[in-house]
Amino acid sequence: MKKKTFKIIFFASALTVSLAACKRELDINRNPNTVTESNITPALILPNALHNVGAQTTLAYGWLSNWIGHWSPSGSYNPNTEESTYNITSSFQETKWANVYNALFDLDVIEQKSAANKETFYQGVVMIMKAHLFQNLVDLYGNVPYKQAFRSLEFPSPVYDKAEDIYADLHLKLDTAINLLATAAVGDAEERVDIVFGGDKTLWTKLANTIKLRLLIRLSEVNANPTAELAKIVAKGGVLKSGQTASANPGYLNDEDKQSPFYATYGLTPSGNQANEYFRANNYIVNVLKANNDPRLGLFFKPAATPSNPANPFVGTVYGSDPDVVFNGDRTSNIGLGLVRSFDQDQWIVTSVESLFLEAEAIARGWLAGNALTAYDAAVTESFIWLGVPKADSAANAYQINNASANWANAGATADSKAKFVVAQKYIALTGINSLEAWNDFRRLGIPANIPLSVNPGRGTRTIPVRLIYPAAEYAVNATNVQAQGTITGQSKLFWDK
């Protein structure tokens, strides 16, 4: 079904909706328009919740784009000392924890209400979204509150579940969501409030399968034979394919706080000014793209407004450098038009590019049936299509033929070498799109091996952190349970990071 979008933007939390116009009643102490538990319905909350999932998936990860060599601060700014020295503390990115849990809270409210009302479509949808965000949370922090989360009256200080147990339970939750969707009724109301797939149960099932495959791929170094879960993915129709990006759009407008989140952060303000003056291309990825004569360069990044050398308009900065007028905002490359397209662009959650690269790696490993070269080519080509490269099919084909690093002939003979070859190209394809996934792959496989470390002299011998530290607020309000996780540093590996 074609996605339908609202013309009303649900940016305020649906749990705090206020309704106007009191109707006169005999009981003058009762306002029939006051928000109550009974009139906060799943359909009312869902659009804003899906919008928030999109925002939490792609925003506030600029620091990761810096760490993994995609972006770097403009030379107009001093480097963030904590970030660029890798000497992170519990205050670093501490709002990420609260923001993701807030998004999960709304989803949990919908799940509980829809289960009680037997609205199985809404229930299945939000269970998939919760699995997506909980995997992100685990990949950032490891052990986190899970089973006792959102039950504050019963568990005011929720315990932390083991990361590996959460991963296992997410598979069960996704299985349940898929089964709920299979028998769910979808009418005009469901199509209207589903701002991701417009009520298309098949695409929601494919998204669930994609998240299941992502969970399995993350465990590639600790579980080499996930046969049973892979069989479920195949039996339920496989993963998202070309043109099937999961993205939210409630009807974004070119007004303050109503633009598509990624565009509002990295594109233009409603008045036409640059929204992003800080992040610029990283010199590392610019050189990679130039060396491969990659046509995606001009879509990942814009030409510098006033480059020092007009013959070389795509200019990156070196991460951790001191301010330098030669590499200020106007002389370096901003985020490109393949990513910041329009104020009303869809806000992606899981892209078809990521999905096809996950599938290609699974086939390369021998986990799924199929031709590894064909799957790899489909993933690379989808990156060109998704970004809007002209004549994407032929351009992607030429890119693979003419570049040793992209030519499948150089993928090697083993399943491991082929999988790593796929992931090396996935790293490039995810530039500016999903730095969390690229960081996960870097931790899992060490790809790319030559990502440059920050040049901030305060870095010392520290390397790119492999996790975040629990936020200071947790140590303040849930001290016993967070301290039970032991001494955590930025180099404390997660269970799948071997």
Give the pLDDT score at 59. 80
Partners of 282 in beta bridges: 317
Q: pLDDT confidence of 20, banded at 50, 70, 90? A: very low
The answer to whether position 83 is within a domain reads: no
What gap in Å lies between CA 82 and CA 306, rounded to an integer? Answer: 30
CATH number of the CATH domain containing 195? 1.25.40.390
pLDDT at 21 over 70: no
The answer to whether position 16 is within a domain reads: no
The answer to whether position 405 is within a domain reads: no
Token pair 């010392």: residue: 460
Region 435-461 average pLDDT: 97
What gap in Å lies between CA 495 and CA 490, rounded to an integer? Answer: 14
pTM, two decimal places: 0.94
Q: Is 251 left (phi over 0), alpha (psi -120 to 50) or beta?
A: left
Which amino acid, one-letter code, is at 5?
T
Render pLDDT for 196-210 as a digit per residue (tens, 0 to 9). Answer: 999 999 999 999 999
Helix/strand/coil percent split, the chain, to 5 = 50, 5, 45
pLDDT at 153 over 50: yes
Give the pLDDT score at 26. 35
Q: pLDDT > 70: what percent of the chain?
A: 92
Backbone angles phi, psi at 227, to 5 degrees: -60, -50
What gap in Å lies between CA 320 and CA 400, rounded to an integer? Answer: 33
CB crowding 165-198: b at 16 or more within 10 Å, else e:
ebbeebbebbbebbebbeebebeeebbebbbbbb
The answer to whether position 97 is within a domain reads: yes
Helix 352-364 to helix 201-218 angle, to the nearest 10 degrees?
50
The answer to whether position 390 is within a domain reads: no
The domain containing residue 177 runs over which residues?
A: 93-239
pLDDT at 191 over 80: yes
Query: Residues near 89 by Cβ (< 8 Å), separated by ≥ 6?
Result: 82, 469
Render pLDDT for 253-293 as a digit per residue (tens, 0 to 9). Answer: 999 999 999 999 999 999 999 999 999 999 999 999 999 99
Chain centroid to Cα 112, Å, comes to 25
Burial class (CB in 10 A: 0-12, 13-18, 19+), 68: buried
Query: Where are the strands (E) in 290-350, listed by range?
Result: 347-350
* SS3 sequence of 16-36: HCCCCCCCCCCCCCCCCCCCC
Cα→Cα distances 459→87, 88, 220, 317, 475, Å: 7, 11, 31, 18, 26
Instruction: Measure the CA dihedral 344/348/353/359, to 10°.
Output: -150
Chain centroid to Cα 28, Å, comes to 49
Cα→Cα distances 24→17, 33, 95, 247, Å: 21, 11, 43, 42
Token pair 């080519």: residue: 377
- Total tally of structural domains belonging to the chain: 1
pLDDT at 6 over 80: no
pLDDT at 14 over 70: no
The answer to whether position 78 is within a domain reads: no
The answer to whether position 404 is within a domain reads: no
CB 269 within 8 A of CB 275: yes
Give the pLDDT score at 22. 35
Give the pLDDT score at 57. 81
Give the pLDDT score at 279. 97
Give the pLDDT score at 377. 98
**Beta-carbon-side half-sphere exposure of residue 183 (alpha carbons within 13 Å):** 6
Number of helices and strands in the chain (H, E) = 19, 6
CB 201 within 8 A of CB 184: yes
Partners of 347 in beta bridges: 248
What gap in Å lies between CA 326 and CA 316, rounded to an integer? Answer: 11
Render pLDDT for 214-258 as a digit per residue (tens, 0 to 9). Answer: 999 999 999 867 999 999 999 999 999 999 999 999 999 999 999
The answer to whether position 62 is within a domain reads: no
Partners of 145 in beta bridges: 160
Nearest Cα to Cα of residue 137 among 108, 106, 103: 103
Query: Where are the strands (E) in 99-179, listed by range?
Result: 144-145, 160-161
pLDDT at 8 over 50: no
Region 176-186 average pLDDT: 98
Query: Residues near 449 by Cβ (< 8 Å), separated by ≥ 6?
Result: none
